[in-house]
Amino acid sequence: MQISKNIKEQFPFGNPRNIIMMAAGTGITPMYQALQRLFGKEEEHEGTASTRVTLLYGSRTKADAYLQKEMEDMERRFPDRLKIVHILSGRKSAGGGRWKSGRIDKRLIKDECTEALSDSSCRVWVCGPPSFYDELRGSRDQEYLPQSCVLRQLGLKSSQVVKF
């Protein structure tokens, strides 16, 4: 089955073996739409059937994490291809497991995405508030990754990072 031209333009999958999605707050919305394309009933699209995805999703509290049930259902159906890690920035402890306390930062990305980062075909998708972009990949308006941003420090190139 071919992905239509419109879908290719909307979701720049390409043929990566690994995708790291980083979302904060309502930035989860386009990521969830992409997950539906990758793992929904049409998941057999050319080039996506073997793609592995790690989603790092930052929220203040568990109650602020949107689409929990839907994403957990997807993760259960594709346990070898989808890993979801929730990162809570609120003061209460996250409780362990898939729920971690803190922020999406260099250490957390390295800990959760080591294998994906070593893959030269890896793509990183970022969506969230301006401060989230600034720290991880530089301003949304910047075409290239600045030296100071986390993703560049992790060895990624501008061509590997997609801004939503």
Closest CA to 15 of 148, 107, 123, 138: 123
Burial classification of residue 89, based on how many CB atoms lie within 10 Å of its CB (0-12 exposed, 13-18 middle, 19 or more buried):
middle
- 8 A C-beta contact, residue 72 and residue 97: no
d(CA 22, CA 29): 12
Helices first, then strands: H and E counts in the chain: 6, 6
d(CA 123, CA 119): 9
Tens-binned pLDDT, residue by residue, of the chain (164 aa): 333 344 444 555 677 999 999 999 999 999 999 999 888 765 454 445 789 999 999 999 988 999 999 999 999 999 999 999 999 987 666 666 778 989 999 999 999 999 999 999 999 999 999 999 889 998 888 888 999 999 999 999 999 999 88
Domains in the chain: ranges and CATH: 5-163 (3.40.50.80)
pTM across the whole model: 0.87
Kindly list the distances between the CA atom of residue 59 and the CA atoms of 77, 126, 139, 155, 161, in Å, as whole numbers in the listed order: 24, 14, 20, 26, 21
d(CA 164, CA 30): 7
